[in-house]
Amino acid sequence: MSESPKIPSPAALLKEQAIAAMNHSYSPYSKKSVGAAIHLSNGKIFTGCNIENSSFGGTVCAERVAVWKAVSELGGDIQITDVYVATEASPPWSPCGLCRQVINEFVAKECKVVLINKTGEELSFTHQELLPQAFDRSALEI
Ligand code: THU
């Protein structure tokens, strides 16, 4: 009997895609490649890489690129269930404050944030752990 093909688990797929996204990083200034993969409650995955600019304030992080790609394709009614961030760093980098805030806007209730690198290190947090007491739309009474 032939073996059925192995379907990669969402976690394995997200890891693979976050690492693959590092290949598109445009980072001539920091020379640090960052890749991100986000998983949505509808099962879709979006990726992003950091894109730097000679006017440094124009630089954008990998995580925000992934979120913006998702919103621009699907609209704002999305829920992010998992975020994978890949760097070469040890320990692996975690999302900057601005990215945490942007993720928060579209976050699912129990969102995981997993920090990885190519050598197999992996640190796992909840979004809530990384951004406690978040500012959100409830403050604006919306
Ligand atoms: N960077 C990210 O892509 N994500 C983060 O959360 C932290 C920082 C990028 C921005 C810049 O291109 C480089 O890493 C150094 O800050």
Q: Which atom of ligand 1 is nearest to the CA of 27?
A: 12
Among 24, 32, 88, 114, which is best to mutate for testing ligand 1, by the most ligand atoms less than 8 A from CB? 32
Give the model's confidence band at 142: pLDDT under 50 very low, under 70 low, under 90 confident, else very high.
Answer: confident
The CATH architecture to which 10-140 belongs is 3-Layer(aba) Sandwich (3.40)
> Above 80 in pLDDT, residue 5?
no
Q: Is the CB of 96 under 6 A from ligand 1?
A: yes
CA of 61 to the centre of ligand 1 (A): 5
CB 122 within 8 A of CB 92: yes
Please give the span between the terminal C-alpha atoms of the chain, in angstroms, as a whole number: 58
pLDDT tens digit string along 46-69?
999 999 999 999 999 999 999 999
Three-state DSSP state, 5: coil
Helices (H), 1-142: 10-21, 62-74, 97-105, 127-130
**Distance from Cα 53 to the centre of ligand 1, integer Å:** 12
pLDDT digits (tens, 9 = 90+) for 81-108: 999 999 999 999 999 999 999 999 999 9
Using CA positions, which residue lies closest to atom 3 of ligand 1?
61
Predicted confidence band at 2 (pLDDT cuts at 50, 70, 90)?
low
Q: Is 63 a catalytic residue?
A: yes
**Catalytic site residue from 3, 16, 63, 141:** 63
Distance (Å, rounded) from C-alpha 107 to C-alpha 70? 12
pTM greater than 0.85 = yes
**115: closest CA among 103, 105, 127?**
127
